[in-house]
Amino acid sequence: MNNLQLESLLNDKLSPEQIKDYCPNGLQVEGRREVRKIITGVTASKALIEKAIELNADAILVHHGYFWKGEPQPIRGMKGARIKALIQNDINLYGYHLPLDIHPELGNNARLAELLGIRVEGGLEPTPQSVAIYGSFPTPITATELTERIEKALNRTPLHIAPETDKPIQTIGWCTGGGQDYIELAAQKGLDAFISGEISERTTYSAREQEIHFFSAGHHATERYGVKALGEWLATKHGFDVAFVDIDNPV
């Protein structure tokens, strides 16, 4: 399949035109025409590009690509070195951000729900493309039990901020990556807990004062699974040679 056909295939699956994003979604850096081997990963870092070069990949598919809204436009320094390596090695770079967070089957939120045993029930925002979602466990569990589930699923111990009343957890909201401020919508909805990748200083007080458990499970850690699932879909349904590469990131 050629690189533009692959972009069309991914766009048809993820529908990036349906959500406003902070970066371009799709083919961000054009490389060789024919694509057979694809490396998937969370972020288009130097280390991931070097691994793609080592494995003779035709394309890289990531959740965090380039050309973010508000970032400096000159292609120099770290960004310049990354893009230079892609161009010199004729490697295509595809990036899908929010479309890969919200996809109901392959998205980061959907994959995290499956890993933790959460039943998805709806979006926290009043829009069909809500970035944060909510659901429930079949039966209430303790905060300790949820901590253990997260640690087992993500191989990372989450930071837990407990409310003043350490209540059991059945209803829960979540948003992978940097979605900590959605705790406000979760609290307004009366949910027992909220999970995101990151935490801010203010999040601690939001959790304590609004009687909602908060779990910071890691930006990278919570966003491995969408792009991994997308790569597996490309391999299974369309015959690509796909390898997921998890570059170590403690965040």
Of 25, 57, 13, the residue nearest 39 (C-alpha): 57
Name the burial class of residue 240, with classes exposed (0-12), middle (13-18) and buried (19+) by CB atoms within 10 angstroms of its CB. Answer: buried
Start-to-end CA span in the chain (Å): 35
Binding-site residue ranges: 63-64, 101, 219, 223
Place of tokens 């829960």: 172
Neighbours of 6 (CB within 10 A): 23
What does the buried/exposed string (b/e) look like for 199-222 if buried means 16 or more CB atoms within 10 Å of the residue's CB?
A: beeebeebbeebebbbbbbbbbbb
- Helices then strands, counting H and E runs in the chain, come out as 10, 11
Binding-site residue ranges for a divalent metal cation: 63-64, 101, 219, 223
Q: Residue 221 and residue 247: Cα distance in Å, rounded?
A: 11
Residue 118, SS3 per DSSP: coil
- According to DSSP, the residues that pair with 61 across neighbouring strands are 40, 94
